[in-house]
Amino acid sequence: MRLSRTTIGRAMVGVGCVGIVMSIAAVLVGQGLVDQVESSVDDSLALTNDALQAVSDSIELTTTIVETIDDGVSSIAATLESVTASLDSTTDALGSSTDFIGGSLPDALDAVGSVLVTIESVASSVDAALRTVSLAPFGPDYDPDTPFDEAIAELSAAIEPLPEELRDLSTDIDGLETSSAAIADDLATLATNVDALDEQLSQVSTLLERYATTTSQAQVLADDSRDDLRASARQAKVLLVVLGVVFALGQVVPIWLGATLIKDAAVVRTIIARPPDD
């Protein structure tokens, strides 16, 4: 069965019109799809940027806290150093004091006490002699409230318990020296630990600076990606329009050819239907 020129022409015109409609629909649908993809990706990038901003704020806050703690730790380290130096000086002073208070001083007082006993025995004779001399017309006026031997006895009584008390005090000071040395050692250990903590805080500060730099770079990248996305979406829309126009223009040929076939068929029918001339 042969198709007539009219049928073929109409079919070609129909195909061309359908092609034009499809090109317009494809451009519209493509534009909507590009808008949807752009909006979805842009929302994701915006959300990512917000999350990065929150991370950046957290890093900044953490950096401030770490710097505050680091300043406090540095102050503690300086204080510990001063206290340790003071304790070392105190320990040395206590050691010297122990030797003097527990050794030389009580030994000297013991010697003084021994001498005072001898002086006391002589003092009675001296006092009696002075009283006798004072009775003479030319003698000195000697009448003390406390006789010489009694004064020496009182002094000897006052000195007698001092050596033992000083030795007891020396024992207490020796214990204090030991405690002071132990405290100094503990403080030295604590100072070492504080120095280690200060070093770790410095490392944390360095790490936070790296995190802050990375986060800032990520934010810049997210912003650049959003700009690139908008530019790519515009280019895609323009490309869709160009392709749609090209495809639509491509349908002009079948439409023109179909219209030509329809027109030729009408001309042929007219010629066939015209009666012959006499």
What per-residue confidence (pLDDT) applies to 278?
Answer: 46
CA distance linking residue 116 with residue 109, whole number of Å: 10
CA distance linking residue 109 with residue 103, whole number of Å: 10
Q: How high is the mean pLDDT in each 10-residue block of the chain (278 residues)?
A: 68 82 87 86 84 81 79 74 70 62 67 69 62 53 62 71 71 66 72 76 80 83 86 87 85 80 70 58
What per-residue confidence (pLDDT) applies to 125?
Answer: 63
**Amino acid at position 115, single letter:** V
What per-residue confidence (pLDDT) applies to 97?
Answer: 60
CB environment 13-45: b (16+ within 10 A), e (fewer)? beebeebbeebeeebeebbeebeeebeeeeeeb
Which phi and psi (to 5°) does residue 167 adopt?
A: -65, -40
What per-residue confidence (pLDDT) applies to 109?
Answer: 67
CA distance linking residue 65 with residue 57, whole number of Å: 12
